[in-house]
A = this chain, B = another copy of it.
Amino acid sequence: MIKKLTLAAAALAVTGVAFAQQALKPEEAIKTRQAGYTYLGWSMSKIKANLEGTYNKDQVIAAANTIAAIANSGMGALYVPGSDKEVNGVKTRVKPEFFQKQQEVGKLAMAFNKEANELARVAATGDVAAVKAQFGKVGGTCKACHDDFRVKD
């Protein structure tokens, strides 16, 4: 029971619900979270390019720090009521279940945070093999959430 409560509290922290927050309109919230994911995607693609080509430690550090910072930014606050479907012409690929399965979402979000922060730590060491392994773990947490909670293309 204690474990459950702790997890719920952690999920709240991760999803940002416990934070003071500005009231964003649903369409603004959708656009802002999509912006975060777009920037995450760019950062991931840069690390991938470094792992597959010439490795630039500084670029990987910058990208990993960006991924970690966005992971820690409280994106949960961007899933405001009314942002579960297209609103005022702004589409979203989130499944309605995302808003119902808060504990499951919290677990996925925590896994992403944990692995993203670990990637930032590993990137700073410049250990390419470790970065490669950790990059895979981060990608796995992205995929886990997409599989369950994002509408397929």
A18: min CB distance to chain B, Å: 9
Asked if B70 and A66 sit within 8 Å, CB to CB, the answer is yes
Determine which of B46, B65, B72 lies in contact with A62 in the assembled complex, contact meaning CB atoms within 8 Å: B72
Q: Would you give the shortest CB distance from A20 to chain B, in whole angstroms?
A: 5
Majority secondary structure of chain A interface residues (helix, strand, loop or mixed): helix
- For the complex formed by this chain, how many copies does it contain in all? 2
Q: Which residue of B lies closest to A41 (CB)?
A: B32
Total chain A interface residues with beta-carbon distance under 8 A: 34
Chain B residues with Cβ under 8 A from A54's Cβ? 20
Q: Are B65 and A69 in contact (CB under 8 A)?
A: yes
- Is A70 a contact of B21 with CB atoms below 8 Å? no
Taking the complex as formed, is A45 at the interface, i.e. its CB lies under 8 A from any CB of chain B? yes
